[in-house]
Structure 1
């Protein structure tokens, strides 16, 4: 391809910042637009567009008017609501699963049925529409028990109840808050891993693995969040265990997509836990994750534009080539996150520093005078051949700057032996 093209990314958070930044660096790309984007994206040459990610008609109109080669959809809500179906109906190229395939994330019950049908290992589970039935059967899963909202919950719809009293109250709360269905699962024990698979109608490539940290506070305490930090690669994962994940989880999943005639073109996230009985799936997502994307994409030598273009057009997928460097990142969140995050904290202009990058997420204002807009505000990142060096560099940077009204975890990477 000789002529540079324009591409569109849908979304506004740290994940979309990383996707758009990676695409903007491609030799094939003239301009990356991101709708609606965020105020920090201009730092990497990405142009934010004031179109809501839910305004499918407006996004389609923009793509046609600006000669967009293809669109990369970031958020799960759009995918579940059928943005890919609408783009394809308009004759536009788009990267992401259609609404039917997006139910693998949109409904926990749907995903578990898929795993059952295609022999993908997961936890013992049952789905419930009735509060009394769920309470009556909660004991059969043992304690702690995992209780999941059936639909989308932004990574925060999971409660691990340590005892029956907590479980019963959680079940009551979920049904009384309007949930039509929930899922009970046995609590699996073991290290967790994030695997992202780029899928093109039965063909696939596995992106670099990452480890997320879901709990809000140090020591994996506090409520579940969208993720408070991540790193890649994973020195604690053996080559043997990795291959088991591929053979026992990835391959039957892809075979299931083919057998079910999903014609899947997009990213499939597989949340894995390595139990004493082997790898099992915690959940599927149908898109890249936040904050894992921010540490995965910088490790690609393979051009992301070329990968996506091949996938969309059912062409042979380029091999995934990783850099030798590790990438480590810590999320800075607003005080009160995830329950009641504060807004408006003055971030100012974060100082540039060699070997430090900032992936902006929920920020507003001008690049020289940014303010927090609630939730996870940004991620501080570093790359280095040594994961330990990258870790130390990020925490040294965070210690040296003033971020009022914000917090972050001090123990990201502890499971890889990175903390003192």
Structure 2
């Protein structure tokens, strides 16, 4: 097949690096641009474009000037800010939900109201617009209680308060910021899973299931983060439990999108917990997850660009074909993440060895001398016949590297393998 079209990916992190790599492997894709991207992407032949992800006018100008077939939006902030609406006003093809549909991630309250309306199982919840009401509402919830900032918080706007004093302090802190609404939820106990659904108005397809590790430190200690590592498949998830997720969560979620007449051409990410009473949704996201994308896309046998093209052009989506191989990724983060990450540390040479890939995120400098730029710096990943093999490969590789002012969890995949490093 002739390489005949060019695509643009919006974003700059490890997720976008993984998306770009998958698109580059397509038979039909001639060139992949990423705006703003990061310098580490250049190692894989991705063309980095210096346009911020919220600069819609310059992004559209670039798309028209370079005859881009379609644009794939990675991060949630651009979607919530209405990049899809902006592009469609000028008849430019784009992969992602519009601003109204993106409120499923942009507002926790909107998402929970949607779940309630369309009978998607979730936690008991209530939303409050003042400190006084939230503190009073706290009496209606058992401890521990989950407290969420209503708006976008890059995966870090959730606190599980263990006692009343902590809960009151978190509520007061949230309202002293720019939050106009805070959501309280009952705490759900059980393993957490990530499901990604590619959706257009014709049909939907489910990508491989993954599990990520949100807490900063080993054994799920420390603060919530955007994610410290992930793996796929999830061998401990029983087939009948997975079927329940499809029947009780995915089907009513998609039905709800249709009935609400939401303009949805993109990814619906469903974060769920398998409780003793069945699967319950803890959040919707309106884009691929990070770091789950890094381990999900390598398991796709499909031509990823063909799948996205079909979605963007509102055609019937091809059936998903998944590799039997497992994939595991470990995030290397800057010391101090997520509260006060250190910047500017020299990174070791990550020239990939056989069976190892690196997806870059917050790095700068040049390819020969990369430096950390705060937060999650990169993801090291490997495929294997089993999760154990992929886990061994990644940690064996990381052990050989000397890090300065960085850290990573030593137990990614522990729930599947019972092993840590």
Give the shorter-chain TM-score range.
over 0.9
Cα-Cα RMSD = 0.9
Give the structure 2 partner of residue 172 of structure 1.
172
Superposed, 1:12-411 pairs within 5 Å as: 12-201=12-201, 203-411=203-411
Q: Distance in 1 between matches of 2:418 and 2:378?
A: 22
* 1:318-373: CA deviation from partner (whole Å, max 9, x where unpaired): 11101111000100000000000000010143232110111111000111110000
Q: Distance in 2 between matches of 1:156 and 1:323?
A: 32
SS in 2 for 1:273: strand
TM-score with structure 1 setting the length: 0.99
Cα distance, 1:202 vs. partner? Answer: 5.2
Q: Distance in 2 between matches of 1:263 and 1:181?
A: 25
Q: Distance in 1 between matches of 2:273 and 2:166?
A: 24
Q: Distance in 1 between matches of 2:105 and 2:150?
A: 9
Compared with structure 1, are the counterparts of its residues 202 and 111 closer, same or farther at alpha carbon in structure 2 (3 Å cutoff)?
A: farther
User: Contact 2:348–2:403 at 8 Å: present in 1 too?
Assistant: no
SS in 2 for 1:346: coil
Q: Which runs of 4+ in 1 moved over 3 A?
A: none
SS in 1 for 2:310: helix
Cα distance, 1:130 vs. partner? Answer: 1.2
Give the total of aligned pairs. 420
User: Contact 2:123–2:185 at 8 Å: present in 1 too?
Assistant: yes
* 1:177-220: CA deviation from partner (whole Å, max 9, x where unpaired): 23110000000001000000000115100000110100001111
Cα distance, 1:385 vs. partner? Answer: 1.1
Q: Distance in 2 between matches of 1:388 and 1:369?
A: 32
User: Contact 2:214–2:220 at 8 Å: present in 1 too?
Assistant: yes
Cα distance, 1:418 vs. partner? Answer: 4.2
* 1:376-414: CA deviation from partner (whole Å, max 9, x where unpaired): 000110001121011011111111111111000011111
Q: Distance in 2 between matches of 1:276 and 1:204?
A: 28
Q: Distance in 2 between matches of 1:4 and 1:418?
A: 46
Cα distance, 1:313 vs. partner? Answer: 1.0
Cα distance, 1:417 vs. partner? Answer: 2.3
User: Contact 2:387–2:417 at 8 Å: present in 1 too?
Assistant: no
User: Contact 2:325–2:386 at 8 Å: present in 1 too?
Assistant: yes
* 1:57-107: CA deviation from partner (whole Å, max 9, x where unpaired): 000000000000000000100000000000011110000000000000000
User: Contact 1:79–1:97 at 8 Å: present in 2 too?
Assistant: yes
User: Contact 1:79–1:102 at 8 Å: present in 2 too?
Assistant: yes
Q: Distance in 1 between matches of 2:201 and 2:289?
A: 21
- Long gaps (5+) in structure 1: none
TM-score with structure 2 setting the length: 0.98
